Amino acid sequence: MPYRFLADLVVGLHVLFVVFVVLGGLLVLRWRHAMWLHLPAAAWGAAIEFGGWVCPLTPLEKSLRAQAGAAGYEGGFIEHYLIPLLYPGALTRGIQIALGVTVLAANLFIYFYALRRCRALRGSGGPSADARTLRRGSTGP
């Protein structure tokens, strides 16, 4: 039972990591320092796809499943719904490259937007007093 739980946990972390790789740049719009975590993660995700490699989480998860005596991915919610997202059966080299390009394009767009927004705020002297007041949640003077 603990190996199955650990395997499910690894799959859950894998899904979160994939979401972070693809959309983590959006966190940079809110917290600039998130880029120090996101940029290496996005580079790793793109490298895995472009290199045709297997993420180390995949063999770890499979090893845990084998130790649990599982024959495959039948069973709970994670196996039934999330595994096909991470390990598509029809994954080809072309699809891997397309995924890598998608990761790069999405993040380049997000970082380009964040950089333009940052420059615009610097050029205008930062947010106005009204914007700072709204951000704090105050409604009156």
* Residue 28 included in any domain: yes
The position carrying tokens 């880029």 is: 35
Q: What would the mean pLDDT of 61-65 be, rounded to a whole number?
A: 85
Q: What would the mean pLDDT of 71-98 be, rounded to a whole number?
A: 65
pTM for the model = 0.68
pLDDT band of 80, cuts 50, 70, 90: low
C-alpha angle with apex 80: 96 to 3, nearest 5 degrees?
Answer: 95
* Residue 115 included in any domain: yes
pLDDT in tens, 7-30: 889 888 988 998 999 889 999 888
* Residue 65 included in any domain: yes
CA separation (Å) from 92 to 6, 49, 98? 28, 11, 10
Domain count for the chain, please give it.
Answer: 1
* Residue 22 included in any domain: yes
Instruction: Judge whether 78 and 11 are in contact, CB under 8 Å.
Output: yes
pLDDT in tens, 124-138: 765 554 454 445 554
pLDDT of residue 79: 53
Alpha helix segments (H runs only) across 24-92: 25-30, 35-51, 57-67, 77, 83-86
* Residue 114 included in any domain: yes
Q: How much of the chain exceeds pLDDT 70, in percent?
A: 76
Task: Please give the residue range of the domain that contains residue 89.
Answer: 2-136
Among 4, 9, 2, residue whose Cα is nearest residue 66: 4
Q: What is the mean pLDDT of the chain?
A: 79
CA separation (Å) from 8 to 74, 78, 108, 109, 141? 12, 7, 32, 33, 52
* Residue 132 included in any domain: yes
Comparing 139 with 2, which gets the higher pLDDT? 2
* Residue 141 included in any domain: no
* Residue 53 included in any domain: yes
The two three-digit tokens of residue 82, written as one number: 């999330």
| Residue 38: pLDDT over 90 | yes
